[in-house]
């Protein structure tokens, strides 16, 4: 039996199973790759929000990474929740020694608005983590947090992407899912902009009337990493990931009394 492409996620745990490491591994499996994990933090989290978070020590993160990379090997890496400057610096140092695609999801806040990245870690994300990225995938809140650029309409997304690229990733995927309806051409769609500063790819999909969207950012970034591990180009990977996450949002379901998760297994259920 052929060995599937191997993808490593470096991120925090979501005890509710909708985002974080759990969403990453589900996505990687659904897209035909073997997912592996480096846990950076443990959260107590459900459909209502994050009730607590505990960061793992840098030596635990480093040991997990070396254990997987030195024995099993990886063909792509995705990063998620890195809550402190120390963790960001540790992970950036580890990634600098790899020659595989890296997808950086610069997680700043949870779907419920809970902070997941210390203010003191922003400089390390800008100067150490983003330069390691093949693709950076910030949402509009994270763009504002990292660059100071506030996107109020679709036309602002070019300026936002340019500001992200100044920190060194080869490609920026600015996610417009938070853009208010009526904020630009095609505003009925959920639109993302992928660019390397030369090429532009506008990724559009129907905006589904479904509030159960917990885990969308983790899922998209993990889907891109899985597609890159399978040999896609960045534009191909982003387009395939957009299609996958759009279907997962459409199939999202209620768990608990708050915001439910997207359905990572929607294709498996026909």
SS3 annotation, 113-148:
CCECCCHHHHHHHHHHHHHHCCEECCEHHHHHHHHC
* Per-residue pLDDT tens listing for the chain (270 residues): 789 999 999 999 999 999 999 999 999 999 999 999 999 999 999 999 889 999 999 999 999 999 999 999 999 999 999 989 999 999 999 999 999 999 999 987 665 555 666 777 899 999 999 999 999 999 999 999 999 999 999 999 999 999 999 999 999 999 998 776 545 444 478 899 999 999 999 999 988 888 888 999 999 999 999 999 999 999 999 999 999 999 999 999 899 999 999 999 999 876
Residue 43 annotated as catalytic: no
The widest CA-to-CA distance across the chain, in whole angstroms, is: 51
How many whole angstroms from its chain centre is CA 232? 17
Tokens 């994300």: give the residue: 125
- DSSP E strand boundaries for the chain: 6-14, 34-46, 49-55, 76-79, 102-104, 135-136, 171-175, 189-195, 200-206
List the catalytic residue out of 213, 219, 230, 246: 213
Would you list the DSSP string of 216-232? Answer: HHHHHHHHHHHHHHTT-
| Angle between the N-to-C axes of helices 140-147 and 156-165, in degrees from 0 to 180, rounded to the nearest 10 | 50
* CB-based contacts of 109, cutoff 8 Å, min separation 6: 115, 116, 117, 141, 142
Pairing of strands 189-195, 200-206: antiparallel
The secondary structure element, H or E, covering residue 213 is none
Answer yes or no: 188 catalytic.
no
Q: Which of 18, 35, 184, 217 is catalytic?
A: 217
222 phi/psi in degrees, rounded to 5: -65, -35
By three-state DSSP, how is residue 175 classified?
strand
Place of tokens 């509030």: 211
Q: Is 215 a catalytic residue?
A: yes
Q: Is residue 12 annotated as a catalytic residue, yes or no?
A: no
pLDDT score recorded for residue 185: 46
Active-site pick, 9, 35, 184, 218: 218
Catalytic option among 26, 111, 175, 242: 175
Does 219 participate in catalysis according to the annotation? no
Which entry of 16, 108, 184, 215 is annotated as an active-site residue? 215
Q: What is the pTM of this model?
A: 0.94
129: which 2 tokens? Answer: 């983590």
Other Cβ atoms less than 10 A from the Cβ of 265: the count is 12
Answer positive or negative: Cα dihedral of 248, 250, 254, 257. positive
State residue 113's pLDDT score. Answer: 59
52 is catalytic: no
Instruction: Please identify which of the residues 33, 79, 147, 216 carries the catalytic annotation.
Output: 216
CA distances from 147 to 134, 165, 192 (A): 18, 10, 17
Q: How many other C-beta atoms lie within 10 A of the C-beta of residue 183?
A: 16
């Amino acid at each position: 039996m052929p060995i599937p492409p191997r993808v490593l996620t470096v991120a925090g745990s979501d005890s509710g199973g909708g985002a974080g490491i759990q969403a990453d591994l589900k996505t990687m499996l659904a897209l035909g790759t073997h997912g592996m994990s480096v846990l950076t933090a443990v959260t107590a989290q459900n459909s209502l929000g994050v009730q607590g978070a505990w960061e793992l020590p840098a030596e635990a993160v480093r040991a997990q990474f070396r254990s997987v990379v030195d024995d099993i090997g990886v063909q792509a890496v995705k990063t998620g929740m890195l809550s402190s400057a120390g963790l960001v610096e540790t992970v950036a140092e580890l990634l600098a020694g790899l020659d595989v695609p890296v997808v950086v999801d610069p997680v700043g806040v949870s779907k419920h608005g809970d902070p997941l990245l210390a203010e003191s870690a922003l400089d390390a994300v800008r100067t150490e983590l983003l330069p390691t990225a093949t693709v950076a995938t910030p949402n509009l809140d994270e763009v504002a947090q990292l660059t100071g650029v506030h996107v109020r309409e679709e036309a602002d997304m070019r300026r936002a992407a340019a500001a992200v690229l100044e920190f060194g990733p080869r490609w920026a995927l600015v996610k417009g899912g938070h853009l208010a309806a009526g904020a630009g051409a095609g505003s009925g769609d959920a639109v993302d902009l992928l660019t390397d500063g030369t090429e532009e790819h506008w990724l559009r999909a129907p905006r589904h009337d479904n509030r159960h969207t917990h885990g969308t950012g983790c899922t998209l970034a993990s889907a891109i990493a899985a597609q890159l591990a399978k040999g896609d180009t960045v534009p191909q990977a982003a387009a395939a990931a957009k299609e996958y996450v759009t279907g997962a949002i459409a199939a999202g379901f209620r768990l608990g009394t708050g915001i439910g998760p997207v359905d990572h297994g929607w294709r498996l259920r026909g």
